[in-house]
Structure 1
């Protein structure tokens, strides 16, 4: 474990504050923050796949509910679900101090985007796949 990373309780609290979601099963969140090589194979990447799909579902559902056109929804997907946007949001919220990685390597944009997707996947699974209970992914950004 990286000595620069704070204790798990502090990490969990930081992520819960940043997402506005309190985990019922914190293991989901902690697994989402473990980069390749720090945990069992596929943990974070599998959660990131779930998170990417959940984010897209949420954005499409929200757009549909607001009566947005397909073009507007596609535009929201291109911007809000992009790796660069997700990485920016993760760094803005200080997730880089929470990501477990080997040897204290700096968190890259790709690593951060994957971590954010994985956290979104963790939230989605923890709330029993209820997109209406999940926090809206960064509504103001």
Structure 2
């Protein structure tokens, strides 16, 4: 299992990013924070999840461990696989998603791609205990994404 990689962003595509690792250029599905904050040509350490099934192999990359943890939790929810989990984390950041789950905000959840009212309720039901450690009421946005863990632990 690939958990972390060091790569250079070569190019951004509509839903994917091309990353270069040594002589290899790989296609990866980025999270919201990778798309929003990282720049083409720069080198980064990414948290990663490699998904292999009978049809394809997909690499998902994240700016921090919290994003990857949310992705891993999301894909375990019934009827949510890695593709929908990735689409969710391309539209909102992990901290905002955790807030939606912890506040049981079905309205905001149902606005995410691939999520209707029933799926939003299922997400809350199946994930509410998963993110209880993050329910501190700290405004993680004011700390910046590199210090989210520090903000949550305060």
TM-score (norm 2): 0.28
Between Structure 1 and Structure 2, the one with more strand by share is: 2
Which has the bigger relative contact order, CA under 8 A and spacing at least 6? 1
Q: Say which one has the larger Rg.
A: 2
